[in-house]
Amino acid sequence: MSTTPEPEFAYEVGAGVDITKLPLTPEEGVVVSRILGRRVTADDLVKESVVPQARAASVLESLVRKGAVLRVGAGRPGGHAAGPDPYKGIVFSMVDLSEPADLTEDQRKRILFFDMNLESWSHYKLLGSKRTATPAEVKVAYFKSSKEFHPDAFFRKNLGSFRERLDRIFRAMKTAYDTLQDPQKRAKYDETAIIELTPEEEAELERLAADKRKADDAKRRDERNADRMKDQRLKRNPMAERIKKARDYLRMAEDAQRAGKLDEAANHARLAVGYDESIKGKADAIVLVAERARAATMMKRIQQIIASPSDMRDLADELNRVADEVAEVAARANDGPLLCEVSSVLMKLKRPVRAAKLAQQAADVDSRNPRAWEALAEAAHADSKWAILLRASDRWLQLEPGNARAKELHKVGKRQT
């Protein structure tokens, strides 16, 4: 007898074999327990340190003689070629496989296999479905998978401890089905679950990725062609070149404005209008923002000078010039608060007529602003415009009934008209 098993053969425990009734040695019992539930070669047993290589041949030969295991492989009487083993590497309990129950060995292995993987499998794998499956496809997969483990399939059969396993599997399949059929539950499950990809899905993802790469390449190629054609048109069309420059300057103005560089933004906007009048509206809006910011800065300086009487006398001409410049910006922007502020400054510069015009514009912008009517009333009083004084002070009192100055000017207006 050879000392090493023949390598072309594998070994498995035959269906219906009751290991407990065979006269096995302790060593043979250990070897059978490692073969139980799977198909292995002698080399596998040696590599797994189940049995020494020197003993492998004699132990396996003894097990074959006692009917504990079958030798399977091509060219042997009664043998069959070894095929793919769905349970490769899994060791099933001999107690479970030999427990009295109205189940075939294959049914026992299927039940044990599903039960031991319930915690690790996703809902999709449990039902034998794909992640991209439609509700209808999920339903078909559920009925196909659950039918094997449905309690009715084992009606009036002795199942022993397998009944509890069957119940767990069937409940898990029902939970998986209920989750995947509900769009909201399914979406929430997909966010956190670790979902296995089937070989078909992996191939599909690779195909989609390849298609996307081709589409991206085609898009970039089309964009390059479009840019080349655009450049060619610009070279042949001077007007198009001017429009392009205007767009470029406008984009630079918008970028500078976002960066807080308002004076730079205004300069770019003015250059843009020089190339294309059609963008004047957008350009003027950018310029106006810069002018309003500059006007606000100038107003702070004016207020500082006015607070110092000596400076005010020395810089009267400069104050009037700056006040007029700010007034133009405020009027063009329809900025109510700035109009009121400039009107007050002009009153201090003893220019009530100009102050009244700005105050009236502020009131037109916001008729519910008491400061606008106050500025108009003060300017009208200084210019002896009694009808305007009465109208402005009356409106001022409506907005601020308890204002003493408004009451005083209202009395003057009534007395003079």
pLDDT band, very low/low/confident/very high, at 81 (cuts 50, 70, 90): very low
Q: List the alpha helices (DSSP H) in 237-279.
A: 238-258, 262-275
The pLDDT mean for the chain works out to: 81
Residue predicted with more confidence, 325 or 78: 325
Q: In the structure encoding, which two tokens stand for residue 157, read together?
A: 């059969």
Query: By mean pLDDT, which of 276-280, 360-364, 396-400 is the weakest?
Result: 276-280
pLDDT digit string, tens, across residues 321-330:
877 888 888 7
User: For residue 107, what are the contacts with CB-CB under 8 A and spacing of at least 6?
Assistant: none
Per-residue confidence (pLDDT) for residue 409, from 0 to 100: 92
Per-residue confidence (pLDDT) for residue 119, from 0 to 100: 86
pLDDT band, very low/low/confident/very high, at 235 (cuts 50, 70, 90): low
Instruction: With residue 12 as reference, give the H or E element that holds it.
Output: strand 10-12
Per-residue confidence (pLDDT) for residue 400, from 0 to 100: 93
Q: Which residue has the tokens 């809902």?
A: 123
pLDDT at 391 over 90: yes
Average pLDDT over residues 202-220: 80
Per-residue confidence (pLDDT) for residue 403, from 0 to 100: 92
> What's the farthest any 2 CA atoms get from each other in the chain?
140
Per-residue confidence (pLDDT) for residue 170, from 0 to 100: 92
Write down all domains in the chain, each with its CATH number in brackets.
Answer: 10-97 (no CATH), 99-192 (1.10.287.110), 237-308 (1.20.58), 315-322+330-416 (1.25.40.10)
3-class DSSP assignment, residue 11: strand
pLDDT at 35 over 50: yes
Q: Give phi and psi for 362, each to the nearest 5.
A: -65, -40
Average pLDDT over residues 165-174: 92
Report yes or no: 70 and 40 within 8 Å, Cβ to Cβ.
no
The sign of the CA dihedral 276, 281, 284, 290 is: negative
Report yes or no: 60 and 104 within 8 Å, Cβ to Cβ.
no
Report yes or no: 245 and 211 within 8 Å, Cβ to Cβ.
no
Residue predicted with more confidence, 320 or 271: 271
pLDDT at 260 over 80: yes
User: For residue 56, what are the contacts with CB-CB under 8 A and spacing of at least 6?
Assistant: 4, 5, 42, 45, 46
3-class DSSP assignment, residue 71: strand
